Structure 1
Amino acid sequence: MAEQVTITRLGAKADGIAETASGPLFVPFALPGETVTIEREGARAHLVSVDVPSPERAVPFCPYFGECGGCATQHMRHDFYRAWKQGTLAHTLHQARLDVPLEPMIDAHGEGRRRLTLHVRFPDREMHVGYMAARSHHVVDIDHCPIAVPALQRQAPLVARAIGRQLGAGRKPLDVQVTAVETGLDVDVRGHGPLNAKDRQRMIALAADLDLARLSIHGEVLVERRPPALTIARSSVVLPAGSFLQATRLGEESLASIVLDACKSGKRVADLFSGCGPFALRLAERIAVHAVETDKAAVAALERAARATPNLRAVTTEVRDLFRRPLLTPELNTFDAVVMDPPRAGAEAQAQQLVASKVPLVVSVSCDAGTFARDTAILQSGGFKLERVYPVDQFSFSPHVEIVGILRRDVVKKLSRNT
């Protein structure tokens, strides 16, 4: 049954929140101050209409907004969006007693997302290709994605549809990851399982028809027509199939700029959770680097790129699961700075080892405010001081934000404990 409510505030995931007799009601795509008509779905609601709009409301630029689950904030004016996103991060840090002023939000959308993962599903007799609707397994069919780089906006859905037609006989759910690299499109398909010889040949032929740089299934390369390379500083890195990549090129460059500036006086730096080297290869322009990563293929790609780049400082590498085997105190004590960029789970075990070490500087990069706050609180409790926090907005139109924290050892506090 439809009813009318007034939105009082925004939640951390961009939902409008109305205070009702039965508790907070979460209304996607509604803004504070708006009067809206909704239909309840438990603690959430479906937005039927905006009856009294906010002056901060904007017209979404994507025709799929509100159906597709990829974007959550296209209905917000830009300044309001930035203030909400920065305020949400500030609140999370305050809850963890990390009360350092935030630097201004860095807009790192650039040309757009350079990787899309499209879902191919067969819930009925028709093939559906697109993104999942929010909190649903329903696929919203799309023919373009305007937040992607131009090379992906229309081409990625076309590629996913062609692959779905080729592999659709078994009606298996497929996920098609398409990455824009300097040599074309790099495509990895998940969900199908091993291919028979006939299907392999058909897929190899399809890669030629689509002019793909590389095509892989579950990370196994079927055909590499051109090396899927990206330039990092002076290095050319051939990406492993399906490997981690920062969402936007400008995002990677913005994060790296902060990391390099923080480490500029260092002589030997550890780059933990290094991936293919977006920080390590840039740091090695002037600093010796030890890069540690659990993904063997990513480490191999980093090693190849470093060897092929003239005049870098020493780059050493190590394949190691830092969740199970964090660098220990004697190992850490050989570095004068540590950079760490873990997955969303954070780096709790590594933070505890850093507390026990003599490392004077930690640069913590994170895509999750909650685990960033947890790990930073551990470091602060052990004598580090959080000097600066930089929000980097490479996940535009979503609630997510990349964070860089600069932490230095509080020497005075540490000495006072020893006296």
Structure 2
Amino acid sequence: MSTETLTIEKLGMSGDGIARGPFGPVYVSFTLPGETVALAVNRDRGTVMSMSDPSPDRVEPKCRHFGPDGENGACGGCSLQHASDSLYQDFKRQLVVDALKSKALQAEVAPLVLAHPGERRRTVFTARRTEKELLLGYNQAESHHIVSISECPIASPGIVSRLATIRTIASVMAVGAEPFRITVLETLSGLDLAFEGINKMDDRQRRMAVETVLGQKGVARLSLNGEILVEPVKPVIDFGGVSVSPPPGSFTQATKPAEDVMAELVMAHLGKAKRVADLFAGSGTFSLRIARKARVHAVEGEDKALKALDLAARNTQGLKPVTVEKRDLYRRPMMASELKIYDAIVFDPPRAGAEVQTKEIARCGARKIIAVSCNPVTLVRDLRILVDAGYRITSVTPIDQFLWSSHVEVVATLEK
């Protein structure tokens, strides 16, 4: 441990300020470029002791739980509430610009599609029972300490207004002092609460949990480790006019506005394509919209999500044929010979990207490709494969649905 006075030179990929220390870079949370700070330095991490020259881009955080002076500790849900809108937006777009440059890809990056407070319909809380109370909130960055929250400006009003309800249910569900996770999805019919990490609930506790949910308003479903405990009303979300009931805790885009923008970009690029393959299709975010215009083959490795997609397609009139296939695209990617019948391919993999699958896409000859990703680093790796195979990037659009974090969604379109 040492004490240093350093100047922050830039923001790193995770949103931390980076200063040049005597032995290499020092990463400092909650700082901005140009700020001179006195730091307690431990290896490559610095903790601010005092600041002599705050940046003109420093603004007052929107949440009482943010930052080193936050109530109950520094909430790890956000990392950039202290940055001005212009600095923050430039930082997010630059993440995509820099990623493309790292693979020598030539493409114009569109302006960042903005996110706004109160748009997050899906969030994941951590909870734990203590001797005094039930903690419900987010883990402090790089820590197991739970910052118990009383507000969350990124989450939808429908979630924030029911924090007390979620706490009440979590208090009944909690077993011992072990932490557990609660994925909260605001649906059109109420909150879908998916608890994970609780393994020893007895029948009495289960009955109490069910009774508690039935005594609350605004909760559509309660599940534990994927098992539905009670479902007063089926949770429903809307994918372009198609009603879908997703399985407990399944993936959905974090905000509806971002999802709609992504879908608009996908649909615009598909144009008059008649046969489309949607890989890593989930519960049908894109497939069910595409089916308004074209035949779709939806491929997904998670069985329950695929069944939700299939049921929604079967129960919706006016769609083109939708076929589904359960397949782990990491272990068994669709081969070029299987993909060659499609005019266009959409793929939206997890953060790890889809390197092996992309190599098959590159060989299939589809005229149009749309790549959707929440990780610019793995996205550009996959785009490089496609460009090397003769595809041309026609657009790259960064989309902010993870407000005040260092995460950015990207939609890239390509043509043969």
Deviation at 1:2, TM superposition (A): 4.5
Is 1:158–2:164 an aligned residue pair?
A: yes
Instruction: Give the Cα separation in 1 of the matches to 2:16 and 2:129.
Output: 30
Deviation at 1:125, TM superposition (A): 5.5
Kept in 2, the 8 Å contact 1:178–1:185? The answer is: yes
Secondary structure of 1:79's aligned partner = helix
Instruction: Give the Cα separation in 1 of the matches to 2:310 and 2:211.
Output: 32
Q: Which residue of 2 aligns with 1:113?
A: 120
**Partner amino acid, structure 2, of 1:164:** A
Kept in 2, the 8 Å contact 1:110–1:248? The answer is: no
Q: Which residue of 1 aligns with 2:105?
A: 98
Deviation at 1:362, TM superposition (A): 1.0
**Partner amino acid, structure 2, of 1:68:** C
Q: TM-score, normalised by structure 1?
A: 0.94
Aligned equivalent of 1:167, options 173, 181, 184? 173
Question: For residues 21-52 of structure 1, what are the alpha-carbon distances to aligned partners after superposition, in whole Å with 9 as ceiling and x for unaligned?
Answer: 21111111111111122211220111223321
Note the 1:180-199 alignment, pairs <5 A: 180-193=186-199, 195-199=201-205
Instruction: Give the Cα separation in 1 of the matches to 2:349 and 2:36.
Output: 41
Residues 236 and 160 of structure 1, relative CA distance in 2, 3 Å threshold: same
Q: Which residue of 2 aligns with 1:39?
A: 40
Kept in 2, the 8 Å contact 1:145–1:154? The answer is: no
Instruction: Give the Cα separation in 1 of the matches to 2:229 and 2:301.
Output: 24
Is 1:9–2:16 an aligned residue pair?
A: no
Secondary structure of 1:365's aligned partner = strand
Deviation at 1:4, TM superposition (A): 2.3
Secondary structure of 1:70's aligned partner = coil
Q: Which residue of 1 aligns with 2:27?
A: 26
| Two-structure CA RMSD over aligned residues (Å) | 1.5
Secondary structure of 2:52's aligned partner = strand
Residues 384 and 371 of structure 1, relative CA distance in 2, 3 Å threshold: same
Kept in 1, the 8 Å contact 2:174–2:198? The answer is: no
**Partner amino acid, structure 2, of 1:18:** A
Kept in 1, the 8 Å contact 2:6–2:36? The answer is: yes
Question: For residues 382-419 of structure 1, what are the alpha-carbon distances to aligned partners after superposition, in whole Å with 9 as ceiling and x for unaligned?
Answer: 1111221110111110010001111111xxxxxxxxxx
Aligned equivalent of 1:279, options 272, 278, 286? 286
Instruction: Give the Cα separation in 2 of the matches to 1:146 and 1:168.
Output: 26
Note the 1:391-402 alignment, pairs <5 A: 391-402=398-409
Instruction: Give the Cα separation in 2 of the matches to 1:355 and 1:158.
Output: 50
**Partner amino acid, structure 2, of 1:369:** P
Note the 1:240-279 alignment, pairs <5 A: 240-279=247-286
Secondary structure of 2:41's aligned partner = strand
Which runs of 5 or more structure 1 residues have no equivalent in the other structure? Answer: 410-419
Q: TM-score, normalised by structure 2?
A: 0.95
**Partner amino acid, structure 2, of 1:269:** V
Question: For residues 92-128 of structure 1, what are the alpha-carbon distances to aligned partners after superposition, in whole Å with 9 as ceiling and x for unaligned?
Answer: 1101111211011111447411112111124665432
Is 1:235–2:268 an aligned residue pair?
A: no
Note the 1:20-419 alignment, pairs <5 A: 20-66=21-67, 67-109=74-116, 111-122=118-129, 126-155=133-162, 157-193=163-199, 195-211=201-217, 212-409=219-416
Secondary structure of 1:106's aligned partner = coil
Deviation at 1:169, TM superposition (A): 4.4
Deviation at 1:145, TM superposition (A): 1.0
| Corresponding residue pairs, total | 408
Instruction: Give the Cα separation in 2 of the matches to 1:3 and 1:152.
Output: 42
Instruction: Give the Cα separation in 2 of the matches to 1:101 and 1:168.
Output: 50
Instruction: Give the Cα separation in 1 of the matches to 2:199 and 2:260.
Output: 36
Question: For residues 76-100 of structure 1, what are the alpha-carbon distances to aligned partners after superposition, in whole Å with 9 as ceiling and x for unaligned?
Answer: 1101111111112211110111121
Which runs of 5 or more structure 2 residues have no equivalent in the other structure? Answer: 68-73
Residues 169 and 262 of structure 1, relative CA distance in 2, 3 Å threshold: closer
Kept in 2, the 8 Å contact 1:118–1:160? The answer is: no
Secondary structure of 1:396's aligned partner = coil
Instruction: Give the Cα separation in 2 of the matches to 1:101 and 1:269.
Output: 26
Percent sequence identity over aligned pairs:
39
Instruction: Give the Cα separation in 2 of the matches to 1:118 and 1:255.
Output: 26
- Worse overlay, 45-54 or 230-239: 45-54
Instruction: Give the Cα separation in 1 of the matches to 2:130 and 2:137.
Output: 13
**Partner amino acid, structure 1, of 2:199:** G
Instruction: Give the Cα separation in 2 of the matches to 1:234 and 1:213.
Output: 20
